[in-house]
Amino acid sequence: MIDRCPVCRYEPLPWPAADHNICICCGTEFDFDDFDFTHEQLRERWLLNGAPWFSQEHQPPRDWDPLRQLGVAGLAGHR
């Protein structure tokens, strides 16, 4: 099974979206950030901040596009 971030829908995550792991794409810390906010709220906040790539250690894919990433995941209605 491929792990996908429930917030930004990035895949493949190098580790499960749980246990305080952090999404390399949007920076969500699972079981921390999503304790007080829903995945939808965190996604909206990420988008409002310009949907930046989070990780300094892992580079985004060469043709990475956060809006296309959401569209492929079935969330095309997002800004």
pLDDT tens-place string over residues 6-57: 999 999 898 899 999 999 999 999 999 999 999 999 999 999 999 999 999 9
**71 vs 21, which has greater pLDDT?**
21
> CA–CA separation, 23 vs 15, rounded Å?
9
Residue 69, phi then psi, degrees to nearest 5:
-55, -45
Report pTM.
0.87
